[in-house]
Protein backbone atom coordinates (compact mmCIF):
# COMPACT_ATOMS: atom_id res chain seq x y z
CA UNK A 1 0.00 0.00 0.00
CA UNK A 2 1.37 3.42 -0.93
CA UNK A 3 2.18 5.72 1.98
CA UNK A 4 0.05 8.86 2.25
CA UNK A 5 1.47 12.31 2.79
CA UNK A 6 0.17 15.68 3.91
CA UNK A 7 0.62 19.01 2.16
CA UNK A 8 -0.28 22.10 4.18
CA UNK A 9 -0.48 25.63 2.79
CA UNK A 10 -0.37 29.00 4.50
CA UNK A 11 -2.78 31.46 2.83
CA UNK A 12 -1.65 35.10 2.76
CA UNK A 13 1.50 35.35 0.68
CA UNK A 14 1.40 31.71 -0.42
CA UNK A 15 -1.91 31.26 -2.22
CA UNK A 16 -2.63 34.88 -3.10
CA UNK A 17 -0.92 38.25 -2.93
CA UNK A 18 -2.90 39.90 -0.13
CA UNK A 19 -0.35 42.28 1.35
CA UNK A 20 -1.34 45.32 -0.69
CA UNK A 21 -5.04 44.94 0.12
CA UNK A 22 -4.27 44.08 3.74
CA UNK A 23 -2.25 47.28 4.11
CA UNK A 24 -4.84 49.51 2.42
CA UNK A 25 -7.82 48.29 4.42
CA UNK A 26 -5.88 48.26 7.69
CA UNK A 27 -4.65 51.81 7.11
CA UNK A 28 -8.29 52.80 6.61
CA UNK A 29 -9.22 51.12 9.90
CA UNK A 30 -6.39 52.80 11.81
CA UNK A 31 -7.47 56.20 10.57
CA UNK A 32 -11.19 55.69 11.16
CA UNK A 33 -10.92 54.15 14.62
CA UNK A 34 -7.77 55.69 16.07
CA UNK A 35 -7.02 58.81 14.01
CA UNK A 36 -3.70 57.47 12.70
CA UNK A 37 -2.82 58.94 9.30
CA UNK A 38 -0.05 58.52 6.71
CA UNK A 39 0.14 54.76 7.30
CA UNK A 40 2.44 52.97 4.84
CA UNK A 41 2.60 49.31 3.79
CA UNK A 42 6.00 48.88 5.43
CA UNK A 43 4.45 49.80 8.80
CA UNK A 44 2.94 46.31 8.90
CA UNK A 45 6.08 44.28 8.20
CA UNK A 46 6.45 43.02 11.78
CA UNK A 47 2.86 41.79 11.75
CA UNK A 48 3.07 39.65 8.61
CA UNK A 49 2.35 36.00 9.37
CA UNK A 50 1.51 36.70 13.01
CA UNK A 51 -2.29 36.77 12.85
CA UNK A 52 -4.86 39.43 12.08
CA UNK A 53 -4.81 41.18 15.46
CA UNK A 54 -1.03 41.38 15.51
CA UNK A 55 -1.07 42.83 11.99
CA UNK A 56 -3.35 45.65 13.17
CA UNK A 57 -1.25 46.16 16.31
CA UNK A 58 1.94 46.36 14.22
CA UNK A 59 0.55 49.21 12.14
CA UNK A 60 -0.54 51.14 15.20
CA UNK A 61 2.74 50.43 16.99
CA UNK A 62 4.68 51.89 14.07
CA UNK A 63 2.94 55.19 14.87
CA UNK A 64 3.50 55.04 18.62
CA UNK A 65 0.13 53.62 19.69
CA UNK A 66 -0.08 50.38 21.66
CA UNK A 67 -3.61 49.06 21.20
CA UNK A 68 -5.57 47.51 24.03
CA UNK A 69 -7.07 44.08 23.50
CA UNK A 70 -10.48 45.66 22.99
CA UNK A 71 -9.13 48.11 20.42
CA UNK A 72 -7.22 45.39 18.55
CA UNK A 73 -10.30 43.19 18.38
CA UNK A 74 -12.47 46.05 17.08
CA UNK A 75 -9.87 46.94 14.48
CA UNK A 76 -9.52 43.34 13.35
CA UNK A 77 -13.26 42.89 12.92
CA UNK A 78 -13.59 46.06 10.84
CA UNK A 79 -10.52 45.12 8.79
CA UNK A 80 -12.05 41.75 7.91
CA UNK A 81 -15.25 43.46 6.75
CA UNK A 82 -13.35 45.91 4.55
CA UNK A 83 -11.07 43.18 3.19
CA UNK A 84 -13.94 40.95 2.03
CA UNK A 85 -15.66 43.98 0.49
CA UNK A 86 -12.45 44.88 -1.36
CA UNK A 87 -12.11 41.38 -2.80
CA UNK A 88 -15.52 41.72 -4.43
CA UNK A 89 -14.27 44.62 -6.55
CA UNK A 90 -10.54 43.82 -6.83
CA UNK A 91 -9.79 40.11 -7.36
CA UNK A 92 -6.57 39.02 -5.72
CA UNK A 93 -3.52 37.95 -7.70
CA UNK A 94 -3.06 34.20 -7.31
CA UNK A 95 0.59 33.16 -7.16
CA UNK A 96 1.93 31.04 -10.01
CA UNK A 97 1.96 27.30 -9.49
CA UNK A 98 0.04 27.07 -6.21
CA UNK A 99 -3.32 25.88 -7.56
CA UNK A 100 -1.58 23.51 -9.96
CA UNK A 101 0.41 22.02 -7.06
CA UNK A 102 -2.79 21.47 -5.06
CA UNK A 103 -4.54 19.86 -8.03
CA UNK A 104 -1.56 17.62 -8.81
CA UNK A 105 -1.38 16.52 -5.16
CA UNK A 106 -5.03 15.49 -5.17
CA UNK A 107 -4.79 13.79 -8.57
CA UNK A 108 -1.82 11.74 -7.37
CA UNK A 109 -4.00 10.06 -4.76
CA UNK A 110 -1.07 10.21 -2.33
CA UNK A 111 -1.82 13.47 -0.50
CA UNK A 112 -4.28 14.94 1.97
CA UNK A 113 -4.39 18.74 1.86
CA UNK A 114 -4.93 21.47 4.43
CA UNK A 115 -4.67 25.20 4.79
CA UNK A 116 -3.29 26.55 8.05
CA UNK A 117 -3.29 30.30 8.56
CA UNK A 118 -3.03 32.73 11.43
CA UNK A 119 -5.81 34.75 9.79
CA UNK A 120 -9.48 34.46 10.65
CA UNK A 121 -11.68 31.67 9.32
CA UNK A 122 -13.98 33.89 7.25
CA UNK A 123 -11.19 35.95 5.70
CA UNK A 124 -9.01 32.96 4.82
CA UNK A 125 -11.94 31.01 3.39
CA UNK A 126 -12.83 33.98 1.18
CA UNK A 127 -9.23 34.18 -0.11
CA UNK A 128 -8.93 30.46 -0.83
CA UNK A 129 -12.28 30.23 -2.59
CA UNK A 130 -11.61 33.38 -4.61
CA UNK A 131 -8.28 31.90 -5.73
CA UNK A 132 -10.00 28.83 -7.15
CA UNK A 133 -8.35 26.38 -4.76
CA UNK A 134 -10.04 22.99 -4.14
CA UNK A 135 -11.35 24.26 -0.80
CA UNK A 136 -13.95 21.52 -0.26
CA UNK A 137 -11.20 18.91 -0.41
CA UNK A 138 -8.98 20.60 2.16
CA UNK A 139 -8.95 20.74 5.95
CA UNK A 140 -9.04 24.33 7.21
CA UNK A 141 -7.26 25.50 10.35
CA UNK A 142 -7.38 29.23 11.11
CA UNK A 143 -6.33 31.62 13.82
CA UNK A 144 -9.75 31.06 15.37
CA UNK A 145 -8.73 27.48 16.21
CA UNK A 146 -5.51 28.11 18.13
CA UNK A 147 -4.34 29.91 21.25
CA UNK A 148 -0.71 30.30 20.28
CA UNK A 149 0.48 32.05 17.12
CA UNK A 150 3.39 31.19 14.86
CA UNK A 151 6.28 30.55 15.47
CA UNK A 152 4.55 28.18 17.91
CA UNK A 153 3.86 24.89 16.07
CA UNK A 154 0.28 24.52 17.38
CA UNK A 155 -1.43 25.47 14.11
CA UNK A 156 0.53 22.97 12.00
CA UNK A 157 0.19 20.17 14.53
CA UNK A 158 -3.56 20.74 14.51
CA UNK A 159 -3.59 20.67 10.69
CA UNK A 160 -1.68 17.37 10.67
CA UNK A 161 -4.21 15.98 13.14
CA UNK A 162 -7.17 17.06 11.03
CA UNK A 163 -5.88 15.32 7.92
CA UNK A 164 -4.79 12.31 9.95
CA UNK A 165 -1.17 12.34 8.79
CA UNK A 166 1.85 12.26 11.09
CA UNK A 167 3.83 15.52 11.03
CA UNK A 168 6.91 13.66 9.79
CA UNK A 169 5.00 12.73 6.63
CA UNK A 170 3.82 16.28 5.93
CA UNK A 171 5.25 19.31 4.14
CA UNK A 172 4.25 22.90 4.87
CA UNK A 173 4.39 25.70 2.30
CA UNK A 174 5.18 29.06 3.91
CA UNK A 175 6.31 32.56 2.99
CA UNK A 176 7.24 34.07 6.38
CA UNK A 177 10.09 33.36 8.82
CA UNK A 178 7.73 32.73 11.75
CA UNK A 179 5.79 30.26 9.64
CA UNK A 180 8.97 28.43 8.67
CA UNK A 181 9.98 28.23 12.34
CA UNK A 182 6.53 26.92 13.27
CA UNK A 183 6.64 24.23 10.57
CA UNK A 184 10.06 23.00 11.63
CA UNK A 185 9.06 23.03 15.31
CA UNK A 186 6.05 20.87 14.38
CA UNK A 187 8.37 18.32 12.78
CA UNK A 188 7.25 18.78 9.17
CA UNK A 189 9.26 19.40 6.06
CA UNK A 190 9.03 23.02 4.93
CA UNK A 191 9.04 24.65 1.51
CA UNK A 192 9.42 28.44 1.62
CA UNK A 193 8.52 30.68 -1.30
CA UNK A 194 10.04 34.15 -1.57
CA UNK A 195 6.75 35.97 -2.17
CA UNK A 196 7.00 38.07 1.00
CA UNK A 197 10.51 37.67 2.41
CA UNK A 198 14.02 37.15 1.09
CA UNK A 199 15.62 33.73 0.72
CA UNK A 200 18.04 34.69 3.48
CA UNK A 201 15.20 35.30 5.94
CA UNK A 202 13.60 31.98 4.95
CA UNK A 203 16.81 29.95 5.22
CA UNK A 204 15.39 27.80 8.02
CA UNK A 205 13.21 26.00 5.47
CA UNK A 206 14.30 22.71 3.89
CA UNK A 207 13.74 24.12 0.41
CA UNK A 208 13.47 27.76 -0.71
CA UNK A 209 12.06 28.69 -4.11
CA UNK A 210 11.04 31.82 -5.98
CA UNK A 211 7.83 30.27 -7.32
CA UNK A 212 5.74 27.19 -6.61
CA UNK A 213 5.62 26.72 -10.37
CA UNK A 214 9.12 25.27 -9.89
CA UNK A 215 7.89 22.65 -7.39
CA UNK A 216 6.46 19.29 -8.47
CA UNK A 217 4.66 16.67 -6.42
CA UNK A 218 7.69 14.45 -6.92
CA UNK A 219 9.85 17.15 -5.34
CA UNK A 220 7.51 17.34 -2.34
CA UNK A 221 7.54 13.57 -1.83
CA UNK A 222 11.32 13.41 -2.12
CA UNK A 223 11.67 16.20 0.44
CA UNK A 224 9.38 14.45 2.93
CA UNK A 225 11.19 11.15 2.44
CA UNK A 226 14.53 12.84 3.02
CA UNK A 227 13.27 14.06 6.40
CA UNK A 228 12.31 10.49 7.38
CA UNK A 229 15.88 9.40 6.86
Taking the domains of the chain in order of start, what are their residue ranges?
5-17+93-228, 19-89
- Rounded to whole angstroms, the Cα distance separating 211 from 192 reads 9
Confidence at residue 111, expressed as pLDDT on a 0 to 100 scale: 98
Q: How far is CA 27 from CA 115, 119, 164, 174, 226, in A?
A: 27, 17, 40, 25, 44
> How confident is the prediction for the chain on average, in pLDDT?
94
Confidence at residue 1, expressed as pLDDT on a 0 to 100 scale: 52
Q: Which distant-in-sequence residues (6+ apart) come within 8 Å of 20 by Cβ? A: 41
pLDDT digits (tens, 9 = 90+) for 113-153: 999 998 889 999 999 999 999 999 999 999 999 999 899 99
pLDDT digits (tens, 9 = 90+) for 54-113: 999 999 999 999 999 999 999 999 999 999 998 888 889 999 999 999 999 999 999 999
Which pLDDT band holds residue 51 (cuts at 50, 70, 90)?
confident
Mean pLDDT of 157-182: 97
Confidence at residue 89, expressed as pLDDT on a 0 to 100 scale: 83
Q: How far is CA 227 from CA 36, 189, 195, in A?
A: 47, 7, 24
Looking from the CA of 192 toward its CB, the CA atoms found within 13 Å total 25
Mean pLDDT of 167-191: 97
Confidence at residue 229, expressed as pLDDT on a 0 to 100 scale: 57
Query: Under CATH, what is the fold of the domain 5-17+93-228?
Result: Rossmann fold (3.40.50)
Helix (H) or strand (E) holding 158: helix 154-163
Helical residues (DSSP H) of 35-116, grouped into ranges? 52-61, 69-89, 98-108
Instruction: Give, as one character, the DSSP assignment of residue 12.
Output: B
Q: Which distant-in-sequence residues (6+ apart) come within 8 Å of 67 by Cβ? A: 34, 56, 57, 60, 61, 75
Amino acid sequence: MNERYGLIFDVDGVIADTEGVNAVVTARVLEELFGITQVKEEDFVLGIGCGDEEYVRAGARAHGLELTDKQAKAGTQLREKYFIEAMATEPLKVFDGVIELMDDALESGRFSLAIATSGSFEKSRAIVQSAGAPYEQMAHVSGNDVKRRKPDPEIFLLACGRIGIDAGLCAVVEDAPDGVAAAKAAGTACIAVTNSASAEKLSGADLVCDSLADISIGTVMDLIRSQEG
